[in-house]
A and B are shown apart, each in its own frame.
Chain A
Amino acid sequence: MREILTFQPEYAEYLRDESRKTGRADSISFPETEEEVRGILRQVCAAGVPVTIQGGRTGLAAAAVPFGGHILNLSRMNRVLGIRQEDGSFFVRVQPGLALLELRKGLEKKNFDTEGWREEERQAFVEFCRAPEQFFPTDPTETSATLGGMAACNASGARSFRYGAARNYIQALRLVLTDGDVLSLRRGQCLAEGRRFSLVTEGGRRIYVELPTYQMPETKNASGYYAAEAMDAVDFIVGSDGTLGVMTELELKLLPLPPVIWGVSCFFETENQAVAFVKRLRKSGAEPAAIEYFDGGALEILRLQKKRSTAFSALPDVEDWAAACVYAEIHCGEEEEALKHLYEIGRELTASGGREEATWVARNDRDREQLQFFRHAVPESVNMQIDERRKVDPVITKLAADMSVPDSCLSQVVALYREGLTRCGLESATWGHIGNNHLHVNILPRDGEDYRKGKELYREWAKKVTAMGGAVSAEHGVGKLKADYLTVMYGKEHIREMAMAKKAFDPAFLLGRGNLFAPDVLGEEEG
């Protein structure tokens, strides 16, 4: 069996993730197979030791940061296990530690290590090689994210405007429970009766789950357990933030890659023009696959970064007058059709106060890479700036909002953010998935006082966004950092319901402690 290693200083990096929060741990393991995961869980959980599950540690909500106990790091479970074809669609079976980047490489080059694959899967692979290029549509910015992590937080990304979140592409999964037993779930095969599940493990144990009774917001959402009438059991596990079991296998649905993918960045003099454009664009016939936003603060950081660092010198120049940028992506079968959509975008932006001259269009790989570099440079630059400030005042971390609201509230939520930032005099950069009314407002605290003000502001926003019918986390998951906002969103009673549902899977509350809700949420009952 894979060793359970006593925690040593050399493993220090496993105490943190991209949230920049640092925890502590007593032991760590790096299993490579499901069998090993089962053994480790049996041993560790029997001893009552809490377990934190890790993938690529790219999460922004500290879900993979351990607060004591054991770290189960899945990064070595990174194999592609097989491929299947059904009704013209391809499904790829992967281990949870596989990085998105590696999956993409394999899909693009049609190159997987097929050793150990079943005969029918090798056959399907031959078909896959003959078929047009396939892709997995979920596209978080950080491609070193693992598929398991993406499933755990129901990740999305820019293209979720058209394709939806990761949940839509998770067809089946295997979940190891704290006693080492396994739950194997396939979409369509286990539906809730009302709000009640009755699941049977491979060991023959029956698990009854009473689902929380809340109505989920009708927006992009990664806040708490997915719960609805007659829902699919797969959907309950996806987005559960590592609190129910350890996903050891995922089957992902692939889509054919659109032959034509064009990107266009449109610059505006004011934020209001950009918002007006987004509203028009959503209703237009341009059918964008992604609608992204960069505000004046984000553009200013890029201008500075370009001047300061040679690594960013290849960034295209953003003109001084530009105070907002909207990026739209066109996915099409033919160039002719893409051109029609592009002109439609041009008309909508002119009607919103923009100019067709003030756009960047990427129609080939080289130009696309440039736009991608531009988009990725924003979060990277912000993180670099925060790291610099942390050196002066270690209390400072980035404060990043991940809230979404319904379409009808876009102007309202933009105004809410702008008003708060101005009132509190905070430095900020905002970007994100404006097509889904989902903006990452990033506060850049200059000192501890700014940090405190920023946190207070987020709490205030969480309340107001909830009142608009929105979600406190749209794609990063709740993890540990947003557990507090989840209570704001659903209220204490619903949080208790979530904890009860968790208990059905993890009776001793050992998995992902501190994720979604505090471990003592059922404290009084446990007595």
Chain B
Amino acid sequence: MKIIVCIKQVPSSNEVRLDPVTKTIVRDGKQSVINPFDAYAIEEAVRLKETCGGAVTALSMGIPATERLLRDAMSRGVDEAVLLSDRVFAGSDTLATSYALSLGVRKLGPFSLILCGKMAVDGDTAQIGPELAEMLGIPHVTEVNRILSVTEEEAVVEKQADGFLETLSVKLPALLTVSKDINMPRLPSIAGIRYSEKGPFRLLGAADVGADPERAGLSGSPTQVVKTETPRREQECTYLEGTQAEQAAAVLDLLREVRR
């Protein structure tokens, strides 16, 4: 069984640190990491390979430095990795990203399953999986939290829906996006790291996958970001002073004010 896992590089921390002197963002090389949800997709793919046989390919689109993360995926059991990297792809929204990934998948040849994390923690769109499946013309199931069985023809999966669980059977090839409940990702081993240093890695440009420049990158992206801003949190902390009775009276006043 051939399994493809799509992964994305995201910043390792949500916490942006400001230099207290210069007030600029501290960029101290704290690494970017594999999108946490994608780590579950990698683990599930490797587990399927271990039970059903076959091979796992990791696929990503990003800057050349993403190679490091693809090799990290190899240290966790992925067999080979492909990176789509080209200026033509720069500035892609989810549609253009899905387009590029679909070309990458086609380039890889026949496959049984594509696994993605249910969303990326930086953009939070959860669109790539479904869009990629549509572009490839294959069925998809989102937020899978258990794969119950897999044969050459179909997969039976459990999906968390609003307040209930759905069990679905899906014809292969298909795409699944997975939630955090699906497994517990393993840590790489020394043997895995040795493999990842030399494991097969391919870098593909836009021309290699036959990308139409009109549909790729910024020109292929209908999404326009009009503005980004940090939400203002208006919270205030007031300390009440005085005797217990005075403090209680002050609380009452505050509550009345809120009700108004």
Chain A residues engaging chain B, CB cutoff 8 angstroms: 109-111, 126, 129-130, 133, 259, 264-265, 314, 316-317, 339, 342-343, 345-346, 349, 355-367, 370-371
Contact = CB atoms under 8 A, between A and B. Distances in A.
Interface in B28-80: 28-31, 33, 36, 39, 72, 75
B36 A342 contact: no
A360 B189 CA distance: 5
A110 B20 CA distance: 8
Contacts of B13: 365
Given A129-B21, A355-B191, A365-B33, 5 more contacts: A316-B184, A316-B186, A357-B190, A361-B189, A361-B190
A265 B189 CA distance: 9
A282 B250 CA distance: 64
Nearest to A266: B190
B241 interface: no
Most central of B12, B13, B184, B190 by chain A CB within 10 Å: B190
B12 A314 contact: no
Most central of B19, B20, B28, B39 by chain A CB within 10 Å: B20
Number of chain B interface residues as a range: 20 to 34
B204 to A, nearest CB: 26
Given A133-B28, A359-B190, A364-B33, A317 B17 contact: no
Contact of B31 (A265, A314, A317, A364): A364
B187 A370 contact: yes
A342 B21 CA distance: 37
Given A129-B20, A133-B28, A366 B190 contact: no
B106 interface: no
A109 B28 CA distance: 12
Contacts of A129: 19-21
Contacts of B72: 363-364
B188 A361 contact: yes
Contact of B193 (A342, A349, A364): A342
B189 A317 contact: no
A360 B188 CA distance: 6
A357 B50 CA distance: 15
B20 A358 contact: no
B202 interface: no
Nearest to A371: B187
A124 to B, nearest CB: 13
Contacts of B30: 365
Given A360-B189, A366-B36, A111 B20 contact: yes
Contact of A342 (B29, B31, B186, B190): B190
A146 to B, nearest CB: 25
Q: Which 6 A-B pairs have the closest CB atoms?
A: A360-B187, A356-B191, A356-B190, A346-B190, A357-B191, A359-B189
B194 interface: yes
A265 B187 CA distance: 10
A370 B39 CA distance: 14
Contact of B189 (A111, A314, A358, A365): A358
Interface in B174-205: 184, 186-194, 197
Interface in B67-97: 72, 75
A365 B12 contact: yes
24 contacts: A109-B17, A129-B21, A130-B21, A259-B29, A343-B194, A345-B190, A355-B191, A357-B191, A357-B192, A359-B190, A360-B186, A360-B188, A361-B75, A361-B187, A361-B193, A362-B187, A364-B31, A365-B13, A365-B30, A365-B33, A366-B33, A366-B36, A366-B39, A370-B187
Nearest to A374: B187
A387 B79 CA distance: 47
A121 to B, nearest CB: 15
Contacts of A110: 20
A357 B193 CA distance: 10
B20 A367 contact: no
B187 A314 contact: no
A346 B12 CA distance: 27
A332 to B, nearest CB: 14
A365 to B, nearest CB: 6
Most central of A111, A316, A358, A366 by chain B CB within 10 Å: A366
B74 to A, nearest CB: 13
A356 B189 contact: yes
A374 to B, nearest CB: 10
B36 A314 contact: no
B10 to A, nearest CB: 11
Interface in B91-137: none
B190 A343 contact: yes
B95 to A, nearest CB: 30
Contacts of B31: 364
Contact of B21 (A126, A355, A363): A126
A293 B100 CA distance: 48
Nearest to B197: A339
A346 B20 contact: no
B189 to A, nearest CB: 5
Contacts of B39: 366
Contacts of A364: 12, 31, 33, 72
A363 B197 CA distance: 14
Contacts of B187: 265, 316, 360-362, 367, 370-371
A268 B24 CA distance: 48
Contacts of A339: 193, 197
A357 B76 CA distance: 11
Contacts of A342: 190, 193
Nearest to A342: B190
B36 A356 contact: no
Given A126-B21, A365-B12, A365-B13, A317 B184 contact: yes
Most central of B13, B30, B188 by chain A CB within 10 Å: B188
Interface in B8-26: 12-13, 17, 19-21
A264 B21 contact: no
Nearest to B180: A314
A264 B190 contact: yes
Most central of B13, B29, B33 by chain A CB within 10 Å: B33
A316 B13 CA distance: 22
A357 to B, nearest CB: 5
Contacts of B19: 129
